[in-house]
């Protein structure tokens, strides 16, 4: 068996750190003993961790990750930084956290409506949302919640009637975005696509026409924010379009 141990600062953001490879042991019990030792050490360190076990072929390549014993010698005996911090005794909600949540919800509604309107500006197009506009964490998780950053992203696809061209289609989208207060850059063309970019108070929208599919995909993103942006602003942090 191959046991891959993962570490991080949240249960949903773990990365492989070291392995216990059963092929390196005289028998399975010795390997399981090191698995138990690793679990106990990580628990004592209060590190957020788990492991995945899988069967491994005797001739399969060895992992590039260090073994448990190498990792233990490096980080526990020599004291090299582990790269993740232990789970704190308490993880208080930082000032501005709830306000940030409300701002993200409002941004989600506003940005989704902006994209829907831009896609609907294409005459006769079949329009569908291809990504739900959900807030998500940007970058790594943190045991200090105030350090985590979040943003909203969403996506639409507009398929115009046969015969539509990329520049004409993007032109209608650009007209609608400008009418709604967006700054729209000139289209750029490549062999496979025509694209344009728009910005509004930290929000961005990108539209890409595919010559191959005769369709345009619109993607939008909110500014990335953390709770500290909202500590003293009562919800006015970032660009709140509501």
pLDDT for position 11: 95
The values of phi and psi at residue 159, to 5°, are: -115, 105
Burial of 207 (0-12, 13-18, 19+ CB in 10 A): buried
CA–CA gap between residue 39 and residue 3 (Å, rounded):
11
Burial of 169 (0-12, 13-18, 19+ CB in 10 A): buried
Report the candidate in 62, 53, 7 with the shortest Cα–Cα distance to residue 31. Answer: 53
pLDDT for position 233: 60
Q: Is domain 97-230 annotated with CATH 3.30.2030?
A: yes
CA–CA gap between residue 164 and residue 51 (Å, rounded):
52
* Reported pTM: 0.84
The values of phi and psi at residue 24, to 5°, are: -90, 5
pLDDT for position 13: 97
pLDDT in tens, 118-154: 999 999 999 999 988 889 999 999 999 999 999 999 9
CA–CA gap between residue 102 and residue 108 (Å, rounded):
10
CA–CA gap between residue 235 and residue 97 (Å, rounded):
10
CA–CA gap between residue 149 and residue 26 (Å, rounded):
46
Burial of 121 (0-12, 13-18, 19+ CB in 10 A): buried
pLDDT for position 131: 86
CA–CA gap between residue 215 and residue 159 (Å, rounded):
5
pLDDT in tens, 48-101: 999 999 999 999 999 999 999 999 999 999 999 999 999 999 989 999 999 999
pLDDT for position 132: 83
pLDDT for position 239: 46
Domains of the chain, by residue range, sit at 2-77, 97-230
The two three-digit tokens of residue 158, written as one number: 């507009």
Other CB atoms within 10 A of residue 24 CB:
14
Q: Is the pLDDT of residue 181 over 50?
A: yes
Q: Is the pLDDT of residue 240 over 80?
A: no
> Which of 55-59, 128-132, 177-181, 234-238 is predicted least confidently?
234-238
């Amino acid at each position: 068996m191959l046991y891959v141990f993962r570490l991080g600062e949240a249960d949903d953001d773990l990365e492989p750190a070291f392995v216990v490879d059963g092929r390196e042991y005289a028998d399975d019990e010795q390997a399981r003993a090191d698995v138990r030792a690793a679990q106990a050490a990580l628990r004592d360190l209060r590190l957020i961790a788990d492991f995945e076990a899988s069967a491994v072929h005797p001739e399969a390549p060895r992992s590039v990750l260090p073994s448990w014993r190498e990792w233990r010698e490096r980080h526990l005996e020599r004291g090299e930084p582990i790269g993740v911090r232990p789970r704190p005794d308490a993880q208080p909600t930082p000032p501005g956290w709830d306000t940030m949540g409300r701002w993200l919800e409002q941004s989600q509604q506003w940005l989704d409506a902006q994209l829907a309107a831009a896609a609907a500006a294409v005459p006769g197009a079949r329009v569908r949302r291809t990504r739900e506009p959900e807030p998500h964490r940007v970058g790594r998780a943190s045991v200090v919640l105030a350090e985590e950053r979040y943003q909203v992203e969403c996506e639409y696809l507009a398929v115009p009637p046969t015969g539509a061209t990329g520049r004409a289609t993007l032109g209608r989208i650009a007209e609608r975005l400008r009418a709604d207060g967006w700054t729209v850059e000139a289209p750029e063309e490549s062999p496979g696509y025509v694209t344009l970019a728009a910005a509004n108070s930290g929000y961005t929208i990108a539209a890409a026409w595919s010559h191959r599919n005769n369709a345009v995909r619109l993607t939008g993103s909110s500014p990335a924010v953390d709770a500290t942006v909202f500590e003293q602003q009562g919800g006015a942090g970032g660009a709140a379009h509501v």
